[in-house]
Copies of this chain bind each other. A is one copy, B any other.
Amino acid sequence: MMLAIQQPQEEQVAPAANINRSMISVEDLSLVFDTNDGPVNALSNINLNINEGDFVSFIGPSGCGKTTLLRVIADLEQATSGSIKVDGTSPKDARLNRLYGYVFQAPGLLPWRTIQQNCALPMEISGQSGAHQQKQIDKNLKMVGLQDFHNKFPWQLSGGMQQRASIARALCINPQLLLMDEPFGALDEITRDHMNMELLRIWQETQKTVVFVTHSIDEAVLLSTHIVVMSPRPGRIVKVIESPLPRLKTLALRDQTAFHQLAAEIRSALANDHAID
């Protein structure tokens, strides 16, 4: 459920409502890229349902189509066949309704804008008031630990800092659906832990739906309600694992056996399909 932005009190913890309403449903979806030397089957016969309030991670070897699937959801790529519904409508309508926020694999900050101005960009576009913009920027930059860098230009930041800035930018518009493509790839463990917990907090508080691409099994286990294991050539879903862990998680969870069991299950699903050399 989309929270009205002007009513921050609603951002407080709320019951897990509507848990069975489907947010994303994919049926028999395939996507073929035409390239100069023949077609590439990036996605093949994908079937997937994501309910509102779910936290779903895509995991799989490099090149298995994680990014591509996320892009189809975001209406950045068109499926070759099959159907997809986002929030009950087409991906295009969902996009036009500004339903989601997307964190790209690369930071993609505009080099002529400071970090603060970069964060303001999506809000300027959806026409939000200056005061609201400033509030959101301050809150989210603080959250990602960049409050002191708001006046720097992107190229003056380290790689990890740029990535955090791009996360803050996506969070500023407080979208109902968060699409994140390896958002924490360039972060150190502690920052990553911190960001993981912040993300969990935001997800729990606002009941967003999150679709999350990662390379890290631990991260997938720590965050997700569902883990989608994918495999390449052609890109397809090997297994969808529902997490037995509670929705409310802490870092301490990592020391529990249930955590390790789930990690082992993912690892073996991945290893079955992995051939590096």
| In the complex, residue of chain B having the shortest beta-carbon distance to the beta carbon of A162 | B62
- Once bound together, how far apart are the Cα atoms of A60 and B161, in whole Å? 13
Question: Is the CB of A239 closer than 8 A to any CB of chain B?
Answer: no
- Once bound together, how far apart are the Cα atoms of A55 and B144, in whole Å? 32
Segment touching B, from A14-22, A95-103, A182-190, A242-250: A182-190
- Once bound together, how far apart are the Cα atoms of A60 and B187, in whole Å? 10
Most chain-B Cβ atoms within 10 A of its Cβ — which of A153, A156, A160, A194?
A: A160
Question: Is the CB of A216 closer than 8 A to any CB of chain B?
Answer: yes
Known: A37-B151, A186-B62. A276 touches B191 (CB 8 A): yes
- B156 contacts A63, C-beta separation under 8 Å: no
19 other contacts beyond A60-B188, A190-B276, with CB at 8 A cut-off?
A: A33-B156, A36-B151, A36-B156, A59-B188, A61-B160, A61-B190, A61-B191, A62-B161, A63-B157, A63-B158, A105-B159, A143-B277, A144-B276, A160-B215, A182-B186, A188-B270, A190-B267, A191-B276, A194-B274
Within the complex, the shortest CB–CB distance from A252 to chain B, in Å, comes to 13
Question: Is the CB of A217 closer than 8 A to any CB of chain B?
Answer: yes
Question: Is the CB of A35 closer than 8 A to any CB of chain B?
Answer: yes
Within the complex, the shortest CB–CB distance from A184 to chain B, in Å, comes to 10
- A-B pairs with beta carbons under 8 Å apart, 6 shown: A37-B152, A40-B156, A63-B157, A142-B277, A143-B277, A194-B274
Question: Is the CB of A136 closer than 8 A to any CB of chain B?
Answer: no
- Once bound together, how far apart are the Cα atoms of A274 and B190, in whole Å? 8
Most chain-B Cβ atoms within 10 A of its Cβ — which of A59, A67, A158?
A: A158
Contact of A191 among B62, B158, B192 (CB under 8 A): B62
| In the complex, residue of chain B having the shortest beta-carbon distance to the beta carbon of A215 | B188
